[in-house]
Each structure stands twice: as C-alpha cells, then as structure tokens.
C-alpha cells in the first residue's frame, strides 16, 4: 500500500525495511503492510488469508534445512532445463523456484523482540479495506494528540496546507487519505482500460468495417504462416 506509506508523513513516522517504523516514548515499532486480492482461487476467505499472512510474517514458517533441500532440488531442475531446454523442464524449474522461495520464512517478531522492538503486520484488501491487524496498528502511528480529550490542553494534529479537508484527529485524516488514494488509483485503472478498448489497433477493414483486426500486422503474419504451412 504505497498510498498509506506516502500519506503517513508526520515526524513520528519514517520508512525502513519493515515499510513503516514508528518511534514512540523510546520504543520502536516496525509495521509491515501487505495487501490481498478480494477475489482468489483459494477456498479460504479474505479474512482467513490475511490472518494467515499475519501469522507467517510474525512467526515465519518452515526450516532452514527445508529451504536448503528445496534450493538443491531447484538448482538441479534448472540445470536440467538449461541442458535440454524442453518446455516441460523449463516449467518444472520455474515451479521449483517458486516452491523454494516459499519453503522458509524466518518471521520478524522474534528478531524485533531480540532488538527490543515490536513488529506489527498490517493487512489490507486491494480496495484499501482495513483488517483487524491493520486497525490494531493505528494506535502506534497516530499523532499523540488523538488520545487527548476534547477540552484537554496539548498539541493536536494539523494536516497543514497539503490537506484539502480538515479533521480533528490524525486517525480520521489517515483513513480519509487512504480512501481517496485508493479511489484515485481505481479511477486511473478504469480510465486506462476504457481508452485501451476504445482505441482501434489498426484501421477498419473495407470489407468488414466492424472488425478492426482484419488488417492488423499480427493477423497478416498469422495468415502468411498458415499459407506457408499449407504449401509445405
């Protein structure tokens, strides 16, 4: 979620390997943002998939020995594919590489705790929907003024001149900002797709004016290849 990383531009937030690092009262919190598609071929729901990813990012999975075994099998499959260059061997080598990359994950929670820090995963849907883990991270990245009562004196959040709307809390400002960024991204994608479908790839055919591909370069190449196959 690049939008979330870009919009959290307060002095209390800065980027690092964990995407967001928050320092509050002498403590450091590393936040890893991950997004998931609302539709999937998986039988598990979006909530379950986000929760599973949260667990993997916290505790990891697999062992180093399993990773080494998967890496050795992957290297052997890639060597066989390079030697023979058969499509099935190439496909198998790619599948082995994907399996190797997923064989082991060390997890971040133990490493963060060893350094005296706290790791927090934050799961989102592709439409910027907040999961339970994402909502839990908000209290670590929000402005301290959000915890003040309405009549309590203290420093409050101020969006500054960059904000086109005013909110009382940093939490509400962040939620609005992410929603606006997600809406703009969806609009840009829909606009590009609309222009792509409306723009013909080549001039229409005089014989078949409703077919725009009749005189395209690709169609001509395919017809030439078919004619050459018939002649041979």
8 CB-near residues (< 8 Å, 6+ apart): 20, 141, 174
Local structure of 29: helix, strand or coil: strand
Strands (E), the chain: 13-14, 20-24, 27-36, 118-125
Per-residue model confidence (pLDDT) at position 228: 64
pTM: 0.57
What distance in Å separates the CA atoms of residue 118 and residue 114, rounded to the nearest whole number?
9
What distance in Å separates the CA atoms of residue 227 and residue 232, rounded to the nearest whole number?
9
* Structure tokens, 67: 């990773």
Domain shared by 135 and 226, yes or no: no
Domain of residue 11, residue span: 2-61+105-148
Per-residue model confidence (pLDDT) at position 62: 86
Domain shared by 20 and 110, yes or no: yes
Per-residue model confidence (pLDDT) at position 217: 53
CATH of the domain at 9: 3.40.1350
Per-residue model confidence (pLDDT) at position 26: 80
101 CB-near residues (< 8 Å, 6+ apart): none
Domain shared by 20 and 126, yes or no: yes
If one counts the domains in the chain, the total is: 2
Domain shared by 113 and 15, yes or no: yes
Domain shared by 212 and 143, yes or no: no
In-domain check, residue 189: no
In-domain check, residue 29: yes
Per-residue model confidence (pLDDT) at position 11: 31
Write down the mean pLDDT value for the chain. Answer: 76
Per-residue model confidence (pLDDT) at position 22: 78
* Structure tokens, 92: 């198998």
Ranges of residues in the chain with a pLDDT under 50 are 1-18, 212-215
Per-residue model confidence (pLDDT) at position 6: 39
* Structure tokens, 210: 């409703």
What distance in Å separates the CA atoms of residue 102 and residue 70, rounded to the nearest whole number?
9
Local structure of 203: helix, strand or coil: coil
Per-residue model confidence (pLDDT) at position 135: 86
In-domain check, residue 27: yes
The CA radius of gyration of the chain, in Å to the nearest whole number, is 26
Domain shared by 134 and 214, yes or no: no
Domain shared by 142 and 207, yes or no: no
Domain shared by 40 and 139, yes or no: yes
């Amino acid at each position: 979620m690049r939008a979330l990383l870009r919009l959290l531009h307060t002095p209390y937030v800065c980027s690092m390997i964990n995407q967001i690092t928050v320092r509050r009262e002498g403590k450091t919190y590393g936040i890893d943002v991950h997004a998931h598609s609302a539709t999937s071929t998986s039988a598990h729901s979006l909530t379950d998939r986000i929760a599973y990813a949260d667990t993997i990012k916290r505790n990891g999975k697999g062992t180093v020995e399993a990773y080494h075994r998967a890496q050795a099998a992957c290297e052997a499959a890639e060597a066989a594919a390079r030697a023979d260059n058969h499509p099935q061997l190439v496909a198998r080598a790619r599948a082995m590489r994907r399996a190797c990359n997923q064989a082991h994950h060390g997890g971040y929670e133990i490493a963060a705790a060893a350094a005296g820090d706290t790791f927090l995963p934050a799961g989102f849907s592709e439409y910027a929907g907040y999961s339970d883990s994402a909502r839990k991270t908000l209290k670590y990245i929000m402005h301290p003024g959000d915890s003040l009562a309405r009549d309590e004196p203290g420093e409050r959040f101020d969006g500054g001149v960059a904000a086109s709307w005013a909110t009382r809390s940093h939490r509400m400002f962040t939620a609005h900002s992410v929603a606006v960024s997600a809406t703009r991204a969806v609009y840009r994608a829909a606009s590009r797709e609309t222009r792509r479908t409306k723009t013909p790839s080549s001039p229409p055919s005089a014989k078949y004016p409703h077919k725009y591909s009749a005189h395209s370069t690709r169609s001509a190449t395919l017809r030439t290849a078919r004619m050459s196959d018939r002649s041979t």
